[in-house]
Structures are given as C-alpha cells and as structure tokens.
A and B are shown apart, each in its own frame.
Chain A
Amino acid sequence: MPQEQEQKRTQKKGGGGEADAGQVETTAKGEKLKDEMDEIMDEIDSVLEENAEEFIKSYVQKGGQ
C-alpha cells in the first residue's frame, strides 16, 4: 500500500511547466493570508483575557479522569 501512495504523491507534484505562474500565485496567496491573520489577531487581541500571566498561573484543574 505505501508504494501506491508514494506514486499518488509523485503524480500530484508533477506538471513542471507551470512553476512560475504557481510561484506568483503563492506569493499573492501568502500576502492575503497574512492580511487575513492580522485581522484575526486584532480581533482576538480585543477578547483575550487580561493579565495573561496571572490568568494562566491560576488555572489549575485537579481531580480529572
């Protein structure tokens, strides 16, 4: 079975000629991703509990299964 999967993988990676177009697309995607993450982090910053250090220190859970 692993051999079959190896082939599947190789096939998917094939198709060389489009490398340049792929590169440009990846960069654009990377920028978009960064903007998207920046936006999410801004939103998360606004809801995070205050005083992270103290909050984490006091979170203790005893007696679990």
Chain B
Amino acid sequence: MAIPKVMGIETEYGISAPGLTDFNPVLSSSLLINTYAGSLRRIRWDYEQESPLRDARGFEPVQARETTEEDLGLANVILPNGARYYVDHAHPEYSTPECAGPRDLVVHDKAGERILERSLEEIQRILPPGQRLAIYKNNTDGKGNSYGCHENYLVDRATPFARIVRDLTPFFVSRQVFTGAGKIGAEGPRAQGSGVGYQLSQRADFFEAEVGLETTLKRPIINTRDEPHADPEKYRRLHCIIGDANMSEVATFLKVGTTAIVLKMIEDDFLPDLSLDQPVAALHDVSWDVTCRAQVRGANGRRISAIQLQWEYLDHAKKYVEAHDPTAANLEVLQRWEAVLTALEEDPLSLHRELDWVAKYRLLEAYRARDGLGWGDPKLRLIDLQYHDVRRDRGLYYKLAHGQMERVASDDEIEAAVMEPPEDTRAYFRGRCIDRYPGAIAAASWDSMIFDTGRDVLQRVPMREPLRGTRQHVQTLLEEAEDAATLVDRLQG
C-alpha cells in the first residue's frame, strides 16, 4: 500500500546586481539571507515590546547543521515556518517546509517568493546608493548555465528503484506540457541548428542522461541521490531535479499533485510499462514543440504525443484514485489535470491564465507582433527574464497575474505561511520550536532538533517520521512547556 506523499520544493533563485561589475553572488546571497533573518529578529523584538511575557532573549536564527569548513560561514537558517533559507553554490536557496498535500505546497512555495522579495526590501536599506540586487525564480541565464528547482517526495523504501525509473521517466518527459515555464531559444549540446524560437521548458535542454547521481553536470532525468532525511529503513526521499521553477500557482499545483499520484501508483505497481525509446531526446523534442503535437517513440515502437501519454497516466490515475485514494485533494488534482489536457489538445494558447509557458509565450508573441521583433531581440529576452522577477511591482508574472492568472491560494494564506509552518507534518514541531525557544536551539535539521537547555549535554530530539510532530500531536505539549528544558523532559519522559 502506497505511503502518504509528504513533499517539498527547493528553489535556487537567480541573483544579480544590475550595473555592478565586481559582483560576488556567493557573498551577496549570504548577505541577503542574513539581512532577512536579522529583520525577523527586529520584527520579533517589536512584538515583544507589546508582549512582555514573551521570552526576552529575542529570535535567533539557528544553524541548520554544524558548520563545516565547506560552509565558509555562509548564511544557513531555519525559519519559523519550518523552511530552510541558505546559500547553495552561488545562489540563495529556499527549501519549503514539508507539506502533506499539493495545495499547501503551492502556498509555501509562494511564501518563499515573498521571503525573497522581503529580503530584497531589507537589503536595500543597507546597500550604498545606486546599488541593488535582483532575484529571479527561473532556471537559466540563457547562456548555458542552469540552476534548479527540485521537488522531493517521500517514497516507500521497499519500492524497487527500477520501477520508479521505468514509470516516472515517461511521466517527466510528458508533464512538461503543463509544468514548463517557457524560454526563448535552445541551449545545450543539441541547441546548434535546432531552430528553436521558443520552447516549453527552461530546464529540459540541460538534461543529458536517464539516471544518475549528478545534479550540476550530465544531469539525469531521474536523480539517484539517497538522503532520506527520515527513517532510512522505511523511506526514500525521491529528489526530482527536472522540474521548472513555476510562477503560476496552477502549474505548481499540477506539477506536484500529479507527480504525487503517479508515485503512489508506482508504489502500488498500478501502471503498465509506458517506457519511451530515447527518453532524453524525447524530453528535448517535447519541450521544443509549442504545438504539443510532436510524437515521441515508445519502447514498443509506437508513436505517441506528450498529451496522449499524459492522458494515459490520467486514465490510470482516475481508476487508482477512485479505488484506493479518493481524497478531496486528489479529486481536485484529477479535475485540473483533465481540464488542462483537454484545453492543450484543443488549443494550447487558451491556457494563458493557467500555465507559465503559455502566459509568457502569448506576451512575447504580442510584443513580436506589435514591435516586429525577432526571437533573438534583447527586449524579448529581457521579458523572458523579468517574467520571473519576484518583486510584485516589477515581475511580469505579477503584471499578468492581476486578474489574468488563475490562482490556487489566497494572498492571506501565502502571507501567513511566511511565518507559520504547515500544521500536518513535522515542520510544525520544527517551526514552533524555533518560534518558542529560539535561545535554546543549538542546531536544527530536517530530521532532528538539538536543544541546549543549559545542562551538561545537548539534547537531541529525532524527527524521523515526517508525519509526526504535527499540530495535533504537539500543540498542547508545546503550549504547556514554558521552556525548552521542560519540553525535552516531557518528550523523554
């Protein structure tokens, strides 16, 4: 029987300092994150002026793990919403807290954008006049450099990895028709002479292998990284590196909602063999075809379009959900999935309210028509980039969003998720501990909290079950423990 799909998204944001020639992205990312963390402390302090009963030590962001040489002292904080905000290579990266469903994950993914936006506002106060940073939630610089948006799903360790590869690969190749964030041109080894003006995915060009451990070169469709951040006997954390970073809430909802159902079907061995011949080439071919009609070849020799492949996954998913998992969340995923496939078949451009690649394509085509621009024009490339700007008064997604893009979450929910953890995963315990006992946390990670309660030894609280430590489990316990020492005693008692 399939296990619940606890999930999260890690996004590496693009960062630049327009007009600055000696820009250091690593230090700038670190400063950006620390400035945000510092602002939380200030906000918390302000609260405390009004609530004298609260812990007077104030909020201290904590190291997510013990600092190694590799860290070079770069920013790495766990936030009160249970998320991790840190420097990864040369980018600011935001990992959402663990969520128990696709809708919650959309809310927390968007909360991440708001945190980056707020970080920009905060850092602006300390930068010299004329300097600024810009942040983009996309996956390419248009010059052959890509940065990731990784999805993580809790998967049963007992599921044979070969079956995951077999059943998930054709799904990943074909889901681009709704997950793509769109980009101008092609990059990578096959780009030369491809004649691609615009394609569905930001990321597809950078994939060169079917299965593998790499994430920065020779990227594989299925990544084999095996760090469960949970009980390793029971769980695998499937680390999916192929997705585009989405601005559209509908696209994120579908991306994680459909993938979660497909993974459940894989765990229950519910799917037939839908394997493709040459999946890497198929991935590019699907992304390069804005009509969504290109056919790829199945391992059994049949020719099939990405949309038809998605219909096959959807048909199995309907049967599966009806028989095994008829939750409201799953039914909403199926309904949106079907609506999007139906519209893609009739006219992909009709989905400009739902999908990033279509919204951007329609906008670019309007500019091409009005200003007579070719695909290589810098203005179009700027539009492609600025679509992903996280600032709501500058980002072109947000310019379209006002009344144009369909929403899944409300602004209020997203704003709340900037500070509040999800209630139905262990992120609740993590976030609430950060909020409640900031001075007593020596370290925090995905699967443990280490408390310094003033005793001789540090107290480690393991969190190896992603669905334990929920509000239901620990709210009363936390409310009754006025300090961390009491909490640890009760947990150990």
Which one of B10-18, B61-69, B259-267 is at the interface? B10-18
Determine the chain B residues whose CB is within 8 A of the CB of A58 once the complex forms. Answer: 16, 18-19
Least Cβ distance of A20 to chain B in Å?
20
Determine the chain A residues whose CB is within 8 A of the CB of B88 once the complex forms. Answer: 65
Determine the chain A residues whose CB is within 8 A of the CB of B58 once the complex forms. Answer: none
Chain B positions 379-436 with a Cβ under 8 Å from a chain A Cβ: 379, 381-383, 385-386, 393-394, 396, 399-400, 404
Chain B positions 1-39 with a Cβ under 8 Å from a chain A Cβ: 12, 14-16, 18-19, 25
The complex places the Cα of A48 from the Cα of B315 at a distance, in Å, of 43
Q: Which of A37, A43, A52, A60 contacts B379 (CB 8 A)?
A: A52
Determine the chain A residues whose CB is within 8 A of the CB of B315 once the complex forms. Answer: 1
The complex places the Cα of A64 from the Cα of B311 at a distance, in Å, of 33
A64 & B370 in contact (Cβ 8 Å cutoff): no
A12 & B346 in contact (Cβ 8 Å cutoff): yes
Determine the chain B residues whose CB is within 8 A of the CB of A37 once the complex forms. Answer: 362-363, 366
B382 & A1 in contact (Cβ 8 Å cutoff): no
**In the assembled complex, B141 has its CB within 8 A of some CB on chain A:** yes
Chain B residue nearest to A34 in the complex (CB): B366
Contact of A56 with B89 at beta-carbon distance under 8 Å, contacts A65-B12, A65-B148 already known: no
B216 & A65 in contact (Cβ 8 Å cutoff): yes
Least Cβ distance of A65 to chain B in Å?
4
The complex places the Cα of A12 from the Cα of B343 at a distance, in Å, of 12
Count of interface residues, chain A, beta-carbon cutoff 8 Å? 28
Interface residues of A (CB under 8 A from B): 1-2, 5, 8-9, 12, 37-38, 40-41, 43-44, 47-49, 52-53, 55-65
Interface residues of B (CB under 8 A from A): 12, 14-16, 18-19, 25, 88-91, 139-143, 145-148, 150, 215-216, 241, 304, 308, 311-312, 315, 342, 345-346, 362-363, 366-367, 370, 378-379, 381-383, 385-386, 393-394, 396, 399-400, 404
Supply 29 A–B pairs (Cβ within 8 Å), ascending by A.
A1-B311, A1-B315, A2-B311, A5-B311, A9-B346, A37-B366, A40-B363, A40-B366, A40-B399, A40-B400, A41-B367, A41-B370, A47-B396, A52-B378, A52-B379, A53-B378, A55-B382, A56-B381, A56-B385, A58-B19, A60-B145, A61-B140, A61-B145, A62-B25, A63-B25, A64-B145, A65-B88, A65-B148, A65-B215
